[in-house]
Amino acid sequence: MEIIYIGSRGGHPVTTLTEYQRVTIVIALLAISVFLTYYFHTVLMLGTVFSHFFYIPIILTALWWEKRSILVAIFLGGLVVVSSFLYRPDILTLNDYGRALMFVVIAFVVASLSEQLKRREQEVKKQRDLVQRYLDVAAVLLVVIDANHTIRLINRRGCELLGYREEELIGKDWFATVVPEASRKTRRQDFDAAIANNAAFPGRRESPVVTRSGDELILAWQDTVLTGDDGQPGAVIGSGADITDRIMAEEALRAAHDEANLYLDIMAHDINNANAVSLGYADLLVDMLEGKEREMIRKLRGGISRSIEIIQNVSTIRRLHSHETTAKPVDLDAIIRAEIAHHPDARIVYDGKPVGVMADDLLSEVFANLIGNSIKFGDPGVEISVRVKKGDETVRVSVEDTGPGVPDAVKPILFTRFARGTSSRSGKGLGLYITRTLIERYGGRVWVEDRVPGRPEEGAAFRFTLFRSNRAREPPAPSAPAAPDRLIIARP
């Protein structure tokens, strides 16, 4: 198996010979070749020369200078032929000429292969340098770690992030160098398991590292296993983005959020207590006073009620934004009946139909806002109807009243934050904004229509949809012999 690491900086440096050293080596080898020829012919008086040695300078020259090796081969081939002709012309054979020709052929073949190899190396180097530039301009740490935990490649951003020079990291144990000691053993085990299973940990995860200065950073880490030509895992390439500042900001924001919630809880508790006491005294004074003073107390009581409503809206919005609740099956009929019971003095008609919907315990706020608006903005004799229509997958709920209605110009913005109606009693718009937010949170939608189409002055119809729960059957109906479409009427 072979894993190729991209980038010349990914391995140990290789010592190369200078041009002067190469020339010196070839000249020395040629001198040895001349000496061997002389020695075999004049001293040993042999008809053959140990010419296998001649292939060494020919091959080296071909590897270093390609086609120039042909000149060396011609020189050595000529040396064999001329030497045999001068010293032992009687034994000069066809084998000597064939040997000289073989030198030239070998030089040509090796030179051609050397040229092809160098072109291939140049192409690889070009691609390698291009990829290395891509890695270096990446805004995240990129590192290749061998199966034996050794760092084989790391990009410029990684070096800057960790505070090391590249040569200080290459060849070092990744876990011993940059992983905090507290998590080092676990991280090693996870790494070894990824190599063994040829599957890295899925998705992103938070991974701490230690810089050269001892600072700890949090990286959003993601990695994948590299395999060799034989398909066997041999390394892991990982990337990490520094999210330390974001984590610290989130922790600071969370602490500030908790502190703000604490203040809100204290304020809501204390203000509600004060409002409850004030409301109690206001109720006593209404019964004790008459005339102008009694009307002033009624207005005071209305102001206290609005303060209680504001506190309730703020608490509801906070719960909405805190994601404390999730949709679950709830009994819509029970919620509607409970809200109607809070308004014993109002005329409310409800077509009771037991049905389960997907919502949460804040669904009652929807009916509190819609029924409360109808009572607040309607005349003293306003009539309110609550209707439930079941579909295959959804339930449509309508809250209709005989009040002043909603002008067409106001309808499109009625459920936006701080939107107000046109009457003198219009509120701050938070109630309907909360209603829309809740319904959309449950996956439904809410809108307003004229109770009598085309005649807004005859009352409004607030409608919204909810998904039915997936229970196998609806809640059982009461055992009393009442008709399924019975009416609940609360009268003054």
Ranges of each domain in the chain: 8-133, 138-242, 245-324, 325-490
pLDDT bucket at 1, cuts 50 / 70 / 90: very low
Q: Span 340-356, mean pLDDT?
A: 88
Return the structure tokens found at 335: 């919620």
- Looking at residue 5, what is its pLDDT? 45
pLDDT tens track for 52-69? 788 888 888 888 888 888
Beta strands 347-351 and 383-390 are parallel
Q: Is the pLDDT of residue 263 over 90?
A: no
List for the chain the helix, strand, coil content (%; round to 5).
55, 20, 30
Q: What is the dihedral of CA 399, 402, 408, 412, to 10 degrees?
A: -20
**Residue 264 φ/ψ region, left for φ over 0, alpha for ψ in the -120 to 50 degree band, beta for the rest:** alpha
The angle formed by the CA atoms of residues 452, 356 and 353, to the nearest 5 degrees, is 50
Q: Which helix (H) or strand (E) holds 478?
A: none
Q: Is the pLDDT of residue 428 over 50?
A: no
Phi, psi of 330 (to 5 degrees): -130, 160
Instruction: Tell the CATH topology of 325-490.
Output: Heat Shock Protein 90 (3.30.565)
- Looking at residue 426, what is its pLDDT? 45
Q: Is the pLDDT of residue 285 over 70?
A: yes
Q: Is the pLDDT of residue 291 over 70?
A: yes
Architecture, CATH, for domain 138-242: 2-Layer Sandwich (3.30)
pLDDT bucket at 46, cuts 50 / 70 / 90: low
Which segment of 219-223, 274-278, 346-350, 383-387 scores lowest on mean pLDDT? 274-278
- Looking at residue 7, what is its pLDDT? 43
Contact criterion met (CB below 8 Å) for 188 and 177: no
Residues forming beta bridges with residue 359, ordered by sequence position: 328
Which segment of 11-20, 115-124, 170-179, 327-336 scores lowest on mean pLDDT? 11-20
- Looking at residue 234, what is its pLDDT? 83
Q: Is the pLDDT of residue 482 over 50?
A: no
Report the percent of the chain where pLDDT is more than 70. Answer: 82
pLDDT tens track for 71-102? 888 888 887 777 777 766 555 566 667 777 88
Q: Is the pTM of this model over 0.85?
A: no
- Looking at residue 62, what is its pLDDT? 84
pLDDT tens track for 394-419? 999 999 999 988 998 888 888 886 55
Mean pLDDT taken over the chain:
80
For residues 438 and 411, give the distance between their C-alpha atoms in angstroms, rounded to a whole number: 18
pLDDT tens track for 229-260? 777 888 898 889 999 988 888 888 888 877 87
Contact criterion met (CB below 8 Å) for 157 and 141: yes
- Looking at residue 366, what is its pLDDT? 92
**Strands (DSSP E) along 57-214, which ranges?**
141-146, 151-154, 205-210
Q: Is the pLDDT of residue 12 over 50?
A: no
pLDDT bucket at 15, cuts 50 / 70 / 90: low
- Looking at residue 131, what is its pLDDT? 67
Which segment of 90-94, 175-179, 472-476 scores lowest on mean pLDDT? 472-476
Query: Nearest to residue 429, comparing CAs of 377, 466, 378?
Result: 377
Q: Span 339-351, mean pLDDT?
A: 89
- Looking at residue 468, what is its pLDDT? 93
pLDDT bucket at 470, cuts 50 / 70 / 90: low
Place of tokens 């053959």: 48
